[in-house]
Amino acid sequence: MSGYRISSPDAEGRINPTKLLNFTFNGRTYSGLEGDTLASALLANGVGVLGRSFKYHRPRGIFSAGSEEPNALVTLRQGGRSEPNVKATEIELFDGLIAKSQNCWPSLKFDLMAINQLAGNALSAGFYYKTFMGPNVFFNRTTEVWWQFEKIIRRAAGLGKASLEADPDIYERMHAWCDVLVVGGGPAGLIAGERAADSGAKVILCEQMAKTGGSLVGSKDIIDDMAGNEWAKACIDRLRDHENVRILTRTTVQSYYDDNLLHAIEHVADHKIKPDAFEPRQRSWKIRAKSVIIATGAFERPLVFSGNDRPGIMLADAARRYAVEYGVLPGKLISIFTNNDTAYHAARAMADCGANIKTIIDVRQQVSGEIRAVAASMGAELLVGDAISRTSGLQKISAIHVGHFNADSKLVAPSTHRIETDCLLVSGGWSPAIHLTSQFGGTPIWDKELQAFLPGKPLQNWHGAGAMAGKFGLANTLLSANDAAKSALKSIGIKPKKLKPPLVISEDVSVQPAPIYEIRRKIKKGKSFVDLQHDVTSEDVRLAHREGFISVEHLKRYTTLGMATDQGKTSNVTGLAIMAEARGEAIEDVGTTRFRPPFTPVALGAIAGESYGDLKPYRLSPMNDWHITRGANMYANGLWMRPETYNRSGETVEQAYIREAGAVRKSVGLVDVSTLGKIDVQGPDAGEFLNRIYSNGFAKLPIGKARYGLMLREDGFLFDDGTTWRLEENHYLMTTTTANAGPVMEHLEYILDVVWPELKVSLVSVTDQWAGIALAGPNSRKTLEACVRGTDMGDKAFPFMGVRDGEIADIPVKIARLSFSGEMAFEVFCGAMHGQALWDVLMEAGKAFDITPYGLEALSTLRIEKGHVAGPELNGRTNANDLGLGGMVSTKKPFIGSVLVRREALNEEGREQLVGLRSLDGQKISGGSHIVASADQVQPGESLGHVTSACFSPELNCYISLGLLKNGRARIGEKLHVTSPVRGTHGAVEIVSPHMVDPDGRRMYG
Amino acid sequence: MLIDCPWCGPRSVEEFTYRGDGTLKRPALSDRSIDAANAYVYDRENPAGDHMEIWHHGNGCRSHILVKRNTLTHKILSCELLGPYSAGRKK
C-alpha cells in the first residue's frame, strides 16, 4: 500500500489541515494532522504494514477505519502508561504520540516467528486441545512434558504485552439516569435525540468518536438544503443548548444489562499525551435509561479468498472514509472486489477525491445498468462474474489474479489475468451493529435480502434506528430514527413533539449483496482468512465441521473464531455462512452466537475506578489517637483498627503481651472494647425474642443483670456469643463479637421481619454510639471505687454479672461485672464522645495500682488461659457440645437451632472437641498446626485435630494453646504432638482441660 | 435489576442482599421434627420461571422485601414489604 494525503480535501471532514502533529511509530518520526487517527496518519505517510498476525506472524496492515479493526493493533505509549492491543483506527493522534508494532521479533520487517507459516497445517483449529491432550508419547508424563513446550508456544502466538509498571492515571465512575439514552451520534442518533429533547425528555447521547455526525461527515448528501455535515453540526449545536440533554463524545456504550442499565466508557483523556492535572483518563458510566434508542450503524464485511489478508487489502467503505473524512487515499492504483453495489459508490466518492480506480471485479453474474454507469464514470475496468483467485506481493499487495467465478460450485477458475494493484478494496455486504440488542438475549433474525442478522424482538425498552435496524440509506435512516424516537417517548409517557421530516437529497444505493461469502479454488493452496485477528481460515471452519464441532457455539470455541479483541465484528457472519454451507443448511438454521459485553475492550482501571488499594474505610475506636500516641501496634481486625500490643522500647510483640497479660493477673489492666457489636433491643416481646434466639434461658434474666448467651444458626451450629444486659423491663443491650456484629444484626432483622413478625421488638445497632473499656485484674474494683459515683461497687451490692448505672467524672456510664480474662473484671460503657475522657480518668484512677493498657494479644492470652472460646473456635463447623458448652443448650425450650442441634451427625462419637495443649518441650505452638500421635516429624501419621489459638502463658510459664481434637475430652492427660509441615515445626504436647488457669473461677467471683 | 422497595422506591440490586427462598415457612416453634427442620434449612426448589424471593435492603432502609422474580428473564413482577409493617399486618 502506498497511501498519501490529498493536498486539499474536498469536503470538510475530521481533520484540521493547518495543525501538524508529530508522532513516532516503531522508532521513526512522522507527522499527521489534528483530527487524524493513528491509522489515517500512517496511511497518509505510506506506512502499510503495522504488525504481525496472531498465529502465523503474517504481515498485516490497516483493514478498517473503526472499532471493527482486526489487524492494526499497536502498543500505545510507554512505561506505566503503555497500553497493548489498541486499534490504530481508534487512536486519536496527538503531538508526541509513541506507538509500536506487536507480535514480531526481532523487528516488524524481519520476524523470526514467521516460520510458523511453514507449520501452517499443524497450527490448525483446535491446536491447543489436540497438542496438550495429545497422544501419550512420554511414558505417562505427556501432559507435563507438553506444559513445558506450551510456555514456548504461547510466546510465539499472542498479542501485545501489558506493562509491569503501575498505571499512573486516575479513573472515575459515574452514575446517571435519563428518559432516553441515544446510542450513536450519526444522523439517526442526532435526529432521534433532537426529537426526544424537543419533547422535554431528559436525554443522554453517546457518540464513540470525538465528533458527532457519523456517515454525514464528509458526505455529499443534502438535508433541508444544507450540506449533510453542516446539518449535523447545526443539530448538535441545537442539542447542546438544551438543558435536558447531556452529550458524551468519545464515549462507547459497551454493555446492556437488566432493567435498562447500560455501561459506557468515556475516553476523557485518551487523545492527550497524558491527562491534565486531576483529570481522569477514562470515566466509566452506569446509565439507567427509561428507554434506549440504538443507532449504532452497521459494519461492512469482507469477502474471503486466498491471500485476503495481505497489507493493502481494506474494506471499501473504510477507504472511502479515509478519503472523505481524513483526506487520505490508501493507494495509487486501486482495485475493487465486491458482491454488492455499495462498493461502487465508495469508489465513486474516492474517485471524486482524485483516486485512481483501476478495476472493479464483481463476483455477481449480472449488475444493473446504473451500476455499470457508475463504474464507467470513473474510467474503471469492470469485470462482472469474475473473482480473485489469489493475491501476490512481497509483503504488501502488488497484484491480484482474477478468473471466472462459477456461481453454482462457488469455485473460481484458474486466473486468466493478473492485475497490478497497490490497494484492493473489498466489500461483502453489511452487518448491522446489533451487539447491544443481542447482549441482553434478543435472538437475532436472519434477513435474506440483506444477508445479515437484524435485531430480534426487544426484550427491554429499546428502539432501533437506522442501519442498526436494517434501514439503510439516509432518507430511510432519518425516517426510522424519527419513528424510534416517537415510540421511545410514547413508551415512557412523554408526548412526542410534532416534527417536520427533513427533506433529503441522497443517492439511493442498494445494500443487498449476492449471497457469496467465500471464493474457493480447486487446488487447496494459500490461506483464506475468515477471522484476521485470530488467524482462523475457512479451512479451519471446515475442519471443525469434519471433526464434529458443528454447533456455532462449539465452532467458536474450537477454532477461536470471533474470540479476539475485535470479537469478530467483521468475521462472524462469514464464519457462520461457511459452517452453514459445510452442514448443507441455511444460515438462519445454523444460528448465531450471542454477543457478549463489552462491545470493545475495556481497561481494568476504568472498571476499578477509585476502588483500589484499601477498598473499605477503616473503623476507628474513640480512643484510637491515644493508642497511636502510646506506640500501640495497630492492626486491622475486620474493619476495625485495634492495638495489638503497646510496645515499650526494645520490646518484641511477644515480650509486650506477656508483660501486659501478667500485669492484668497481678494488678489491673484496661483494654479498649469499643469494637464489640452492640444492639439495642426494646419492646414488650424483647425477653421472649431473646429467649428464642439464644440457646440458653433468657426468660428469667432480672433487670440489672447480664447473661452470657450462645447463639446458634438454624442448622444447629454455633453462630456467635456475647453478653446481653437487661437494662429495664423491656430494654436490653446485646453485645456480639466484633467480627459478627453485622451478620448478627442481619440475622435478627431477618427473624423479626420474616420468621416472627408478630413479635413486638425493635432493634437498633448502637456499636458506634457506645465506647467500651474493660478493666480486669484483682485491683479492678479498687480502681473503679476510686472514681465511680452513684453506685456501690461492693461485692454484695454489685455481684458477678451485675449491671449498674453510675458516673465517672460526670460522665454517665453503664458498668457490667463481666470477665473474659478470668480475673475480677468490669466493662464500662459510655457515650462514644466521652470515650477518651473516660479512658483518661481510669488511667489516672489506676495509677496507684500501676494500671497497664493491654492490647488484643494480651486479651487473647488471658482468654486462652481460661479456655474461653472466640473466633478461631466459633468457626462455623463447631457446635456447643464440641466446645464444652453443651450445658448452655437448653432442652427445656425451643429456640433457633434447637431441633437440628439434636441431629445425629452433630452428636456422634469422634467429633473434634475443645481441649487445652501444653508444650512439653518448650517449643512454641503455632496456630493451625495439626495434632498427631507420632513423634516422627517426617511420618507424623493422620491428623487428629488442629490448634486453634496459641500463646505463651505468663501464668503457667509455658507455651499453651486451645485446639480441636477428635474425642478430645477423653484424651486429657495423653501426650501427643503438634506438627506444622508448612513451618517445619514438630513438638510434644500434653492434652489438658481447656480451663488452664483458675478452673473453678475463684478470681472472677472474689 | 431494579427492586421496587416499598419504602425507598426502585433501587439497584447492588443495595440488596438475597436472603433466600420466600416460599418457605419455618416450622412452628413447638415442632420438634428433625425432618421438617431439615427441609426448612436445606431443601430448595430451583424453579425456571417465577419465584418468590426474600431480599434485604441492607444498604437502604434495611427492610426485607418479598420479591416475585422470573429466574429466566430477571423480570421482577411484584415487591411486598415483609415484617411488622407489611400490608397483611395490622399496624
Q: How far is CA A480 from CA A190, A233, A433, A464, A470, in A?
A: 12, 20, 16, 8, 10
Please give the residue of chain A at the shortest CA–CA distance from B27: A755
- Closest chain B CA to residue A256: B1
Sign of dihedral through CA atoms A495, A501, A507, A510? Answer: positive
pLDDT on residue A146: 63
CA distance B71 to chain A (A): 12
Question: Taking a C-beta distance cutoff of 8 angstroms, is the pair A303, A516 a contact?
Answer: yes
Q: Could B41 and A715 be called an inter-chain contact, meaning their C-beta atoms sit closer than 8 Å?
A: yes
Nearest to A820 by CA among A780, A767, A878: A780
pLDDT at A32 over 80: yes
Three-state secondary structure string covering A947-994: EEEEEEECCCCEEEEEEEEECHHHHCCCEEEEEECCCCEEEEEEEECC
Partner B, chain A 899-938, Cβ-Cβ below 8 Å: 899-900, 902-903
Interchain pair B64, A258: CB under 8 A: no
Nearest-neighbour CA in chain A from B47: distance (Å)? 20
Q: What's the confidence (pLDDT) of residue A140?
A: 59
Give the integer Cα–Cα distance in Å for A253 and A270: 16
- DSSP calls for A316-338: HHHHHHHHHHH-EES-SSEEEEE
Cα(A440)–Cα(A464) distance, integer angstroms: 14
In chain A, domain spans = 171-298+432-505, 525-590, 679-766, 907-1006
pLDDT of residue A725: 98
CB pairs under 8 A between A and B: 62
For residue A75, which of A99, A51, A103 has the smallest C-alpha distance? A99
A519-567: per-residue pLDDT in tens? 999 888 899 999 999 999 999 999 999 999 988 889 988 999 988 888 8
Q: pLDDT per residue over A63-107, tens digit each?
A: 999 999 999 999 999 999 999 999 999 999 999 999 999 877 667
Per DSSP bridges, beta strands A328-329 and A4-5 are: antiparallel
pLDDT given for residue A617 in this prediction: 82
Average pLDDT, integer, range A50-56: 87
Residues of A in contact with B38 (CB under 8 A): 900, 903
Interchain contact, A757 vs B89, CB within 8 Å: yes
CA separation for the pair A35, A52 (Å, rounded): 27
In whole angstroms, give the CA distance from residue A590 to residue A596: 19
The set of residues, in sequence order, having a beta carbon less than 8 Å from that of A282 and lying 6+ positions away, is A171, A172, A265, A266, A267, A268, A269, A270, A603, A605, A606
Q: Is the complex ipTM more than 0.95?
A: yes
| Minimum CA–CA partner of A901 in chain B | B34
pLDDT tens-place string over residues A840-855? 999 999 999 999 999 9
Q: Backbone dihedral region of A297: left (phi > 0), alpha (psi from -120 to 50 degrees) or beta?
A: left
CATH topology of domain A171-298+432-505: FAD/NAD(P)-binding domain (3.50.50)
Name the burial class of residue A589, with classes exposed (0-12), middle (13-18) and buried (19+) by CB atoms within 10 angstroms of its CB.
exposed
Determine the residue of chain A that is closest to B3 in CA distance.
Answer: A259
Confidence at A903, pLDDT banded by 50, 70, 90: very high
Whether B64 sits inside 8 A of A754 (CB atoms) is yes
pLDDT reported for residue A8: 58
- How do residues A322-375 score in pLDDT, each as one tens digit? 999 999 999 999 999 999 999 999 999 999 999 999 999 999 999 999 999 999
Q: Check whether A55 has a pLDDT greater than 70.
A: yes
CA angle A624, A629, A634 (to 5 degrees): 55
Residues of chain A with Cβ-Cβ distance to B32 below 8 Å are 894, 899
Contact A667, A851 (CB under 8 A): yes
User: Of A675, A625, A670, A674, which Cα lies nearest the Cα of A843?
Assistant: A670
CB interface of A with B, residues 270-309, below 8 Å = 288
Cα gap A263→A440, rounded to integer Å: 13
Which residues from chain A sit within 8 angstroms of residue B89, using beta carbons?
757
Q: What's chain A's average pLDDT?
A: 93
Please state the rounded mean pLDDT for residues A176-180.
Answer: 97
- Identity of the residue in B33, B34, B83 whose CB atom sits nearest the CB atom of A752: B83
Architecture of domain B2-81: 2-Layer Sandwich (3.30)
**H-helix segments, A451-537:** 474-491
How far does A692 lie from chain B, in Å, by closest CA? 9
Place of cell 444522523: A187
Distance, in angstroms, between B8 CA and closest chain A CA? 17
**Rounded average pLDDT over A280-290:** 97
Residue A339 region, left (φ>0) first, then alpha (ψ -120 to 50), else beta? alpha
Element (H, E) at A364: none
Q: State the CATH architecture for A525-590.
A: Orthogonal Bundle (1.10)
Are B64 and A749 an interchain contact pair (Cβ–Cβ within 8 Å)?
A: yes
**Reported confidence tier of residue A758, pLDDT bands at 50, 70, 90:** very high
Q: Which of A259, A894, A900 sits opposite B1 (nearest CB)?
A: A259
Of A288, A746, A899, the CB nearest to B32: A899
Show which of residues 238-277 on chain A sit within 8 Å of chain B, judged by CB atoms: 258-259, 261
A890: which DSSP letter?
Answer: -
Question: How far off is chain A from B86, nearest CA to CA, in Å?
Answer: 9
Separation of CA A500 from chain center: 45
What's the CATH architecture for A679-766? 2-Layer Sandwich (3.30)
Which burial class, exposed, middle or buried, applies to A126 when counting CB atoms under 10 A from its CB (0-12, 13-18, 19+)? middle
C-alpha cell at position A33 = 494532522
Amino acid sitting at position A801:
M
Q: Which residues in chain B touch residue A748, judged by CB atoms under 8 angstroms apart?
A: none
Closest residue of chain A to B21, computed from CA coordinates: A754
Distance from the Cα of B24 to chain A's closest Cα (Å) equals 10
Spatial distance between the Cα atoms of A658 and A858, rounded to a whole number of angstroms? 7
Given a contact cutoff of 8 angstroms between Cβ atoms, the answer to whether A461 and A262 are in contact is no
Query: Rounded CA gap, A763 and A761, in Å?
Result: 7
Q: Which of A459, A749, A755 sits opposite B26 (nearest CB)?
A: A755
3-state DSSP call for residue A815?
Answer: strand
The confidence score (pLDDT) of residue A113 equals 64
B21 pLDDT band, cuts 50/70/90, is: very high
Q: Do A749 and B17 touch (CB under 8 A)?
A: no
- Cross-chain Cβ contact A261/B12 below 8 Å: yes
- Residue of chain A whose alpha carbon sits nearest to that of B88: A757
Instruction: Summarize pLDDT for A136-164 with one digit per residue, the tens.
Output: 555 556 666 666 666 666 666 567 888 89
The continuous run of DSSP H or E covering A543 comes out as helix A538-546
pLDDT of A582 over the 90 cut? yes
A760: nearest CA in chain B? B84
Q: Which CATH class is domain A907-1006?
A: mainly beta
Q: Which residues contact A102 (CB under 8 A, 6 or more apart)?
A: A51, A52, A73, A74, A75, A84, A85, A159, A160, A161
pLDDT in tens, A854-898: 999 999 999 999 999 999 999 999 999 999 999 999 999 999 999
Closest Cα of chain A to B30: distance in Å?
Answer: 7
A750/B19 touch (CB, cutoff 8 Å), yes or no: yes
Closest CA to A723 of A708, A742, A701: A708
A839/A398 Cα distance (integer angstroms): 87
CB contacts, 8 Å: A691 with chain B:
none
Instruction: Please list, in sequence order, all residues whose beta carbon lies within 8 angstroms of the beta carbon of residue A1002, skipping any fewer than 6 positions away.
Output: none
Is pLDDT at A270 greater than 90 in this prediction? yes
E strand segments, chain B: 2-5, 9-12, 17-21, 50-56, 64-70, 76-81
The B-side interface with A (CB below 8 A) comprises 1-2, 12, 17, 19, 26-27, 29-34, 36-38, 40-42, 54, 56, 58, 62-64, 73-74, 82-84, 86, 89
Contact list in A for residue B86 (CB cut-off 8 A) is 757
Q: Which chain A residue lies closest to B53 (C-alpha atoms)?
A: A754
**Cα–Cα distance for residue pair B37/B14, rounded to 1 Å:** 31
pLDDT band at A591; cut points 50, 70, 90: confident
Instruction: Tell me which of B4, B65, B76, B82 to substitute to probe the interface with A (most A C-beta atoms closer than 10 Å).
Output: B82
pLDDT of A657: 97
The residues pairing with A37 across neighbouring beta strands, listed in sequence order, are: A92
- Residues in chain A within 8 Å Cβ distance of B37: 714, 899-900
**A750: chain B residues, CB-CB within 8 Å:** 19, 54, 56, 64
Q: Are A980 and A928 in contact (CB under 8 A)?
A: yes
pLDDT digits (tens, 9 = 90+) for A709-746: 999 999 999 999 999 999 999 999 999 999 999 999 99
The residue among A286, A899, A904, A906 with the most chain B CBs within 10 A of its CB, best to mutate, is A899
Considering only CB atoms, B37 lies closest to which of A288, A459, A900, namely A900
pLDDT the model gives residue A138 = 56
CA distance A893 to A26: 80
Q: How confident is the model at residue B91 (pLDDT cuts 50, 70, 90)?
A: very low
Residue A118 has pLDDT above 80, yes or no: no
- Cβ contact (<8 Å) for A753 and B31? no
CA-angle at A356, arms to A353 and A361, nearest 5°: 120
The DSSP H or E segment spanning A681 is strand A677-682
